[in-house]
């Protein structure tokens, strides 16, 4: 049976010691959020993840969702778990108090998302998608729309979805065919078919609020003609009560590789009533608000799967007895040594540990910058933080989901034959993790976004939001003898990243395919440098704790040893990625189609 224990020590280390929680609690609107309150929320969040969500993860995977004549039933225990989740106020954790939310910082919501995804990724998609809908309506909805929908989404009685993809178009949303025809009363009749709609139909909430992309009759061609509409399953009455059934119906659910506990729906709209969100033909802005939140959420799915997979690989490696250590028996009282004594098993576990802990620090740093972008009193600081989030969103979405799948595969390998069968539960992690590399923009699209949009935006303004802090950090600490074994590898890898950035930008001006050819390797190079930066910050925090004599000495020493492993065994991948990115488009584009 699989195991999961919320990594509260690691979470608190990042929030309190590495990032400094005072950077959040000092923001306007966050003064009532104390360190003690944060710890209490995290502890309660860990309980519901460990005791309520995790026990129904494997059973939910086996049972899956059931479809019957337009209705979807979630697996046994999901409805009860959702009611418990709602009763605890978790659907409104990071939502605006004006609409009934708890108003907690995004950073705390980020930590909670990690734990939920580790415990039960399929379940977490239901409230996760609702939060994406909440964000879009909160930013772009009229006062009337917000007053009608947000309190119900925040309290969890209504849920939300994003209806973007159609049978003939996924990434290229300019090709959508769903039509919206205006009515005299200000509403619209919307017709079309949407596919791959996560949580599009289920039995957890009394209403489901769909955010639907469609085109008006006078819409321009392409993405400039996209509008966004709110389309409820049941049309709300003026007092907020559920009214008549709307003409949006689930036509079927997909039979999938993983995330069986979450319904993936075909949604048919046949003159369904909807209301415009934002301006006509300006749905792209609101769509990106949803997509960016979704991409950050998917990054947390990658991290969550990586954490729970690592925990299970570690537990098995400590327990499974096979052969003796190469240097002689380590446990002579046993018939064989546990496999954790073997170097290659340790290599696999340490890659998982180093990447997971580094990704957590990077994700939480982004969560903190989201809070700064929302709350800081200085406009320049808000913009700086917003730029950093925009730059790093494709990086963590792609890298952390790639590594979530890779670490799940590591865990299967550690388990050997037992990893391949369902009884031990770890093969589910690989199946669940695989979708995160695909939806909300495939990881190849994330790489193109980074190199094609983010790199040149504002004449490199977004890049400077990351490059300048890293450069300043290296300069400030390069003379510190206690840090040199960490700073020097970071400095070397960072210099290569700057070099590849400049060369790709230069070559892409002459040939755009140069950027496309380099994009995936460049994103991976970027991510590895970002994690190295985070590991240096973690080393400083751990050294500070050791010097003060506070806390668990073994915990902080392990942080330093893991950082050393990262610098020596993971970060060198940047050299290979640099060479591959610099190889250019020619090796990729030289083949004629018929030569494949």
Task: Give me the CATH topology for the region 160-283.
Answer: Butyryl-CoA Dehydrogenase, subunit A; domain 2 (2.40.110)
> How far is CA 35 from its chain centroid?
25
| Residue ranges of the chain that CATH labels 1.10.540.10 | 8-143
Q: Residue 192: pLDDT above 90?
A: yes
Residue 291 pLDDT > 90: no
CA dist., res. 162 & res. 152, Å (int): 17
pLDDT at 348: 98
Contacts of 586 (CB under 8 A, 6+ apart): none
Q: Looking at the predicted structure, is the pLDDT value of residue 350 above 80?
A: yes
Alpha-carbon distance 583 to 521, whole Å?
A: 10
Q: Which of 27-41, 91-105, 568-582 has the lowest mean pLDDT?
A: 27-41
Q: Could you report the per-residue pLDDT of 515-572, keeping only the tens digit for each?
A: 999 999 999 999 999 999 999 999 999 999 999 998 999 999 999 999 999 999 999 9
Strand pairing category for 158-163 and 179-182: unpaired
* Phi/psi of residue 260, nearest 5 degrees: -65, -25
**32 confidence band (pLDDT: 50, 70, 90):** confident
**Rounded to whole angstroms, how far apart are CA atoms 142 and 147?**
9
Q: Measure the CA–CA gap between 308 and 448, rounded to whole angstroms.
A: 30
Nearest partner of 274 among 122, 420, 137, judged by Cα: 137
C-alpha 250/C-alpha 260 separation (Å) is 17
Q: CA-to-CA distance for 489 and 572, rounded, in angstroms?
A: 9
Q: Are 306 and 432 in contact (CB under 8 A)?
A: no
CA-based nearest residue to 175, from 188, 166, 184: 166
Q: Is the Cβ–Cβ distance between 451 and 398 less than 8 Å?
A: no
Q: What does the pLDDT read at residue 292?
A: 81
Nearest to 503 by CA among 488, 476, 484, 521: 521
Q: Name the pLDDT band for 215 (thresholds 50, 70, 90).
A: very high
3-class DSSP string for 7-49: CHHHHHHHHHHHCCCHHHHCCCCCCCCCHHHHHHHHHHHHHHH
Confidence of residue 233 (pLDDT cuts 50, 70, 90): very high
Per-residue pLDDT at 582: 95
| pLDDT average, residue stretch 491-497 | 98
* Dihedral, 376, 20, 37, 99 alpha carbons, nearest 10: 30
Is it the case that residue 325 has pLDDT exceeding 90?
yes
* CATH number corresponding to 8-143: 1.10.540.10
- Confidence (pLDDT) at 279: 93
Cβ atoms within 10 Å, residue 405? 23
Give 553-562 contacts, CB < 8 A, sequence gap 24+: 555/9, 555/13, 559/13, 559/357, 562/350, 562/353, 562/354, 562/357, 562/535
Q: How confident is the model at residue 90 (pLDDT cuts 50, 70, 90)?
A: very high
Rounded mean pLDDT of 202-226? 95
Q: What is the chain's mean pLDDT, rounded?
A: 96
Model pLDDT, residue 284: 82
pLDDT of residue 286: 83
In the predicted model, what is the mean pLDDT of residues 30-48? Answer: 95
443 close to 520: Cβ distance less than 8 angstroms: yes
List the one residue out of 206, 259, 180, 208 whose CA is nearest residue 79: 206
Rounded to whole angstroms, the Cα distance separating 369 from 358 reads: 17
Q: According to the model, what pLDDT value does residue 361 have?
A: 98
Residue 431 neighbours by CB under 8 Å, 6+ apart: 61, 257, 258, 259
What pLDDT does residue 29 have?
A: 85
**Which whole-number Å values give the CA distances from 491 to 377, 519, 536, 591, in the listed order?**
33, 22, 11, 37
Give start-end residues of each CATH 2.40.110.20 domain in the chain: 160-283
What residues are paired with 197 via a beta bridge? 265
Distances (CA, A) of 393 to 2, 292, 293, 370: 31, 7, 9, 11
Which pLDDT score, from 0 to 100, does residue 168 have?
85
Q: What is the rounded CA–CA span in Å between residue 531 and residue 103? A: 29
Q: Which among 135, 166, 307, 440 is annotated as catalytic? A: 440
Cα–Cα distances in angstroms (integers) from residue 506 to residues 438, 499, 514, 577, in the given order:
30, 11, 9, 18
HEC sequence for 481-493: HHHHHHHHHHHHH
Give kind and range of the element (H or E) at residue 438.
none
User: 440-478, pLDDT tens digit by residue?
Assistant: 999 999 999 999 999 999 999 999 999 999 999 999 999
0.75 surpassed by pTM? yes
Task: Name the phi and psi angles at 6, rounded to 5.
Answer: -55, 130
pLDDT reported for residue 285: 83
Q: Catalytic: 254?
A: no
pLDDT mean over 258-283: 97
Residue 293, pLDDT score: 81
pLDDT at 431: 98
Angle, helices 484-510 vs 461-477, to 10°: value is 150
CATH (one of 3.40.50.300, 1.20.140.10, 3.40.50.1220, 2.60.120.380) for 288-586: 1.20.140.10
């Amino acid at each position: 049976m699989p195991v999961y224990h919320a990594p509260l020590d690691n979470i608190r280390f990042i929030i309190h010691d590495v990032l400094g929680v005072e950077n959040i609690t000092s923001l306007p609107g966050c003064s009532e959020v104390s360190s003690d309150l944060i710890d209490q929320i995290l502890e309660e969040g860990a309980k519901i993840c460990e005791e309520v969500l995790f026990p129904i993860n494997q059973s939910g995977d086996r049972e899956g969702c059931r479809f019957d004549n337009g209705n979807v039933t979630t697996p046994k225990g999901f409805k009860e778990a959702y009611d418990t989740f709602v009763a605890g106020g978790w659907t409104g954790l990071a939502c605006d108090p004006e609409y009934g939310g708890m108003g907690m910082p995004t950073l705390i919501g980020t930590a909670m998302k990690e734990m939920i995804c580790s415990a039960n990724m399929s379940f977490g998609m239901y409230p996760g998608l609702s939060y994406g809908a909440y964000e879009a309506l909160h930013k772009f909805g009229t006062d009337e729309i917000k007053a009608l929908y947000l309190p119900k989404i925040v309290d969890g009685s209504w849920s939300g979805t994003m209806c973007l993809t159609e049978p003939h178009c996924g990434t290229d949303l300019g090709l959508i065919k769903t039509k919206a025809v205006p009515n005299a009363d200000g509403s619209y009749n919307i017709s079309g078919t949407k596919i791959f709609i996560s949580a599009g139909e289920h039995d957890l909430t009394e209403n489901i609020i769909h955010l639907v992309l469609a085109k008006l009759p006078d819409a321009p061609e392409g993405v400039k003609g996209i509008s966004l509409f709110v389309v409820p399953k049941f049309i709300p009455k003026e007092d907020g009560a559920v009214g008549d059934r709307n003409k949006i119906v689930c036509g079927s659910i997909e039979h999938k590789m993983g995330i069986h506990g979450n319904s993936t729906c075909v949604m048919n709209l046949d003159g369904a009533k909807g209301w415009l969100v934002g301006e006509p033909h300006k749905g792209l802005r609101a769509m990106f608000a949803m997509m960016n939140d979704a991409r950050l959420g998917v990054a947390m799915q990658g991290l969550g799967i990586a954490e729970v997979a690592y925990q299970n690989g570690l537990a098995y490696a400590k327990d499974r007895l096979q052969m003796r250590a190469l240097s002689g028996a380590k446990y002579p009282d046993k018939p064989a040594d546990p496999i954790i004594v073997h170097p290659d098993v340790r290599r696999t576990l340490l890659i998982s540990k180093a990447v997971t802990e580094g990704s957590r620090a990077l994700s939480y740093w982004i969560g903190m910058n989201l809070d700064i972008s929302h709350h800081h009193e200085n406009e320049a600081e808000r913009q700086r933080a917003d730029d950093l989030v925009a730059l790093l969103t494709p990086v963590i979405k792609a890298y952390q989901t790639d590594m979530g799948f890779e670490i799940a595969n590591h865990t299967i390998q550690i388990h050997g034959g037992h990893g391949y069968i369902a009884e031990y539960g770890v093969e589910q992690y690989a199946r669940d993790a695989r979708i995160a590399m695909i939806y909300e923009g495939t990881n190849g699209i994330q790489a193109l976004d980074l190199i094609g949009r983010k790199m040149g935006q504002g004449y490199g303004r977004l890049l400077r939001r990351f490059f300048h802090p890293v450069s300043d950090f290296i300069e400030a600490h390069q003379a510190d003898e206690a840090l040199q074994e960490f700073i020097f590898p970071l400095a070397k890898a960072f210099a290569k990243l700057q070099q590849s950035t400049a060369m790709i930008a230069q070559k892409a001006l002459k040939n755009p395919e140069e950027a496309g050819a380099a994009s995936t390797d460049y994103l991976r190079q970027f991510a590895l440098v970002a994690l190295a930066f985070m590991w240096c910050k973690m080393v400083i925090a751990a050294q500070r704790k050791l010097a003060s004599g506070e806390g668990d000495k073994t915990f902080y020493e392990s942080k330093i040893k893991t950082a050393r492993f990262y610098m020596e065994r993971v970060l060198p991948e940047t050299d290979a990625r640099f060479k591959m990115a610099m190889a250019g488009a020619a090796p990729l584009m030289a083949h004629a189609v018929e030569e494949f």
